């Protein structure tokens, strides 16, 4: 790995470039499938390096091809682009100029890292075996961007052998990483439950079939799925996150609606959770003389990292950033549509700590005060560039 050690110093020398891009993306955030200005900036930077660039993939996605000077594998590096519908409250000089839209998850940093990686690799093509495919993906935040890209053949032409990605992680500080083999991030489903009753006057409850009472019992009963149906050493989450019913203080409504999310790592655990959810909802509704409607939407599969690919990335981290602590058994119930690519191609998705409590940069992801320590940018770029080079010449 001696030929990649220089990436650390080179990435540090590009810090002002990375920071400038990150702050530009942060000032002008765009929601999923609307990243038009963002895509223009990404494409402009990639073209300035003389790369073969394709735009309009899955509406606003951008890809670029970087051919190495030696034969090897096709390694895809993926970076998400979209922002969130959040009003920013950071007070930063580079705060969002688009009211109600904010980069509150670090995707602005991911794009800056991706463009820095492109520059590092282009300037060191002699070290590259095979082909690097840079993929800037729209609509990661639950809108199906990865599925659209796969449907539009992003894993083909050239056919991808290995895929890599990372996520800045404000829950942990600089100097921390999680490069984890196997199941790493949870798969996610959304559910909507409608309890249908019979509305009427709030002062005459005996003439109604109250869906609010039934829905309330459903909420409480759903809490038993994980505690009483899933083994303690397994992991699952069932969270009711929305409840809507009624429009007046003296009217019992016709229906109540619940929405929420299910998270898990294993297909068999998911099967149990979904089966019990349906049993509980329908049984309680029946017992309360109501009807029930259930809608399920799979958001994404679990993120499962390939053992050998992960081992190589761990080696790159240890070589380039020996001071970093890798928490190799870390797992998160947060979901990521990088799982869509990993379901098709072996690869690795990992976290790198970006928080800094001393600077007040430790707000959680999706929080209106989210911001991260930009010193992570060159570290992350060096790791990805080095991993791409090592994987390009690897034998899995």
Query: Are residues 313 and 383 located together in one domain of the fold?
Result: yes
pLDDT tens across the length of the chain (396 residues): 668 999 999 999 999 999 999 999 999 999 999 999 999 999 999 999 999 999 999 999 999 999 998 999 999 999 999 999 999 999 999 999 999 999 999 999 999 999 999 999 999 999 899 999 999 999 999 899 999 999 999 999 999 999 999 999 999 999 999 999 999 999 999 999 999 999 999 999 999 999 999 999 999 999 999 999 999 999 999 999 999 999 999 999 999 999 999 999 999 999 999 999 999 999 999 999 999 999 999 999 999 999 999 999 999 999 999 999 999 999 999 999 999 999 999 999 999 999 999 999 999 999 999 999 999 999 999 999 999 999 999 887
Q: Which of 30, 82, 210, 373 is catalytic?
A: 82
pLDDT at 2: 67
pLDDT at 16: 98
Q: In the sheet where 129-137 sits, what is the strand order?
A: 52-57, 61-67, 129-137, 70-80, 162-173, 347-355, 176-178, 325-326
Query: Are residues 62 and 129 located together in one domain of the fold?
Result: yes
CA atoms within 13 A on the CB side of 186: 18
Query: Are residues 147 and 72 located together in one domain of the fold?
Result: yes
**Is there a binding annotation on residue 98?**
no
Helix then strand then coil, in percent of the chain rounded to 5, is 35, 30, 35
Look up 87 and say whether it is catalytic: no
Query: Are residues 47 and 155 located together in one domain of the fold?
Result: yes
pLDDT at 349: 98
Please give the backbone phi and psi of residue 204, each rounded to the nearest 5 degrees, phi first.
Answer: -130, 60
Q: Which of 30, 88, 108, 140 is catalytic?
A: 140
**Is there a binding annotation on residue 167?**
yes
Question: Concatenated DSSP letters for 246-272?
Answer: -SSTTEE-SEEEEEEEEEESSHHHHHH
Paired tokens of 292: 């029930």
pLDDT at 192: 98
pLDDT at 3: 82
Query: Are residues 309 and 278 located together in one domain of the fold?
Result: no
SS3 379: helix
Query: Are residues 68 and 216 located together in one domain of the fold?
Result: no
Give the separation between CA 109 and CA 296, rounded to whole angstroms.
32
pTM score over 0.85: yes
CATH of the domain at 64: 3.40.630.10
Name, in order, each residue with C-beta under 8 angstroms of 338's C-beta and a sequence gap of 6 or more.
Answer: 78, 146, 163, 165, 303, 349
Domain endpoint, select from 300, 330, 347: 300
SS3 29: coil
Name the one residue in this structure whose structure tokens are 């549509």.
337
CATH of the domain at 240: 3.30.70.360
Domain endpoint, select from 234, 267, 300: 300
Domain endpoint, select from 300, 325, 355: 300
Which helix (H) or strand (E) segment holds residue 130: the answer is strand 129-137
Q: Taking Cα atoms as reference points, which of 309, 322, 303, 319 lies closest to residue 391?
A: 309
Name, in order, each residue with C-beta under 8 angstroms of 9's C-beta and a sequence gap of 6 or more.
Answer: none
Query: Are residues 263 and 341 located together in one domain of the fold?
Result: no
Look up 140 and say whether it is catalytic: yes
Query: Are residues 240 and 230 located together in one domain of the fold?
Result: yes
Query: Are residues 232 and 332 located together in one domain of the fold?
Result: no
Please name every residue paired with 201 in a beta bridge, in sequence order, or none if there are none: 251
Query: Are residues 291 and 378 located together in one domain of the fold?
Result: no
**Is there a binding annotation on residue 107?**
yes
Query: Are residues 228 and 113 located together in one domain of the fold?
Result: no
Query: Are residues 269 and 181 located together in one domain of the fold?
Result: no
- Structural domains in the chain (count): 2
Residue-number span of the structural domain to which 382 is assigned: 2-186+302-392
């Amino acid at each position: 790995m001696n030929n990649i050690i220089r990436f650390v110093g080179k990435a540090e020398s590009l810090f002002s470039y990375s920071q400038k891009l990150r702050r530009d993306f942060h000032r002008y955030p765009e929601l999923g499938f609307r990243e038009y200005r963002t895509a223009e900036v990404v494409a402009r930077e990639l073209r300035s390096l003389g790369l073969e660039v394709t735009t309009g993939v899955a509406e606003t996605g951008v890809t670029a091809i970087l051919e190495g000077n030696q034969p090897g594998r096709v390694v895809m590096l993926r970076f998400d682009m979209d922002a969130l519908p959040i009003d920013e409250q950071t007070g930063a000089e580079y705060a969002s100029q688009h009211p109600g839209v904010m980069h509150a998850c670090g995707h602005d940093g991911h794009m800056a890292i991706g463009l820095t990686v492109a520059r590092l690799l282009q300037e060191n093509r002699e070290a590259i075996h095979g082909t690097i495919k840079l993929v800037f993906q729209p609509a990661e935040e639950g809108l199906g961007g990865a599925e659209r890209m796969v449907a539009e053949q992003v894993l083909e032409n050239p056919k991808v052998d290995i895929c890599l990605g990372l996520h800045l992680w404000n829950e942990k500080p600089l100097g921390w990483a999680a490069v984890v083999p196997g199941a790493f991030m949870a798969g996610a489903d959304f559910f909507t439950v409608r309890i249908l009753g019979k509305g009427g006057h709030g002062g005459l409850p005996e003439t109604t079939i109250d869906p609010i009472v039934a829905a309330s019992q459903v909420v409480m009963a759903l809490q038993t799925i994980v505690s009483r149906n899933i083994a303690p050493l397994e992991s699952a989450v069932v969270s009711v996150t929305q409840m809507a019913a009624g429009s007046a203080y003296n009217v019992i409504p016709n229906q109540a609606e619940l929405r929420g999310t299910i998270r898990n790592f294993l297909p068999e655990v998911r099967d149990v959770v979904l089966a019990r959810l349906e049993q509980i909802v329908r049984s309680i509704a029946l017992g309360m003389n109501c009807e029930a409607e259930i809608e399920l939407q799979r958001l994404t599969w679990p993120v499962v990292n390939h053992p050998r690919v992960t081992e190589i990335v761990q080696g790159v981290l240890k070589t380039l950033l020996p001071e970093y602590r890798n928490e190799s058994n870390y797992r998160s119930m947060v979901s990521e549509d990088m799982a869509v690519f990993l379901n098709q191609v072996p690869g690795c998705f990992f976290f790198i700590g970006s928080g800094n409590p001393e600077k007040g940069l430790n707000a959680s992801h999706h929080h209106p005060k989210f911001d991260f320590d930009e010193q992570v940018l060159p570290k992350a770029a060096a790791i990805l560039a080095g991993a791409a080079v090592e994987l390009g010449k690897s034998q899995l």
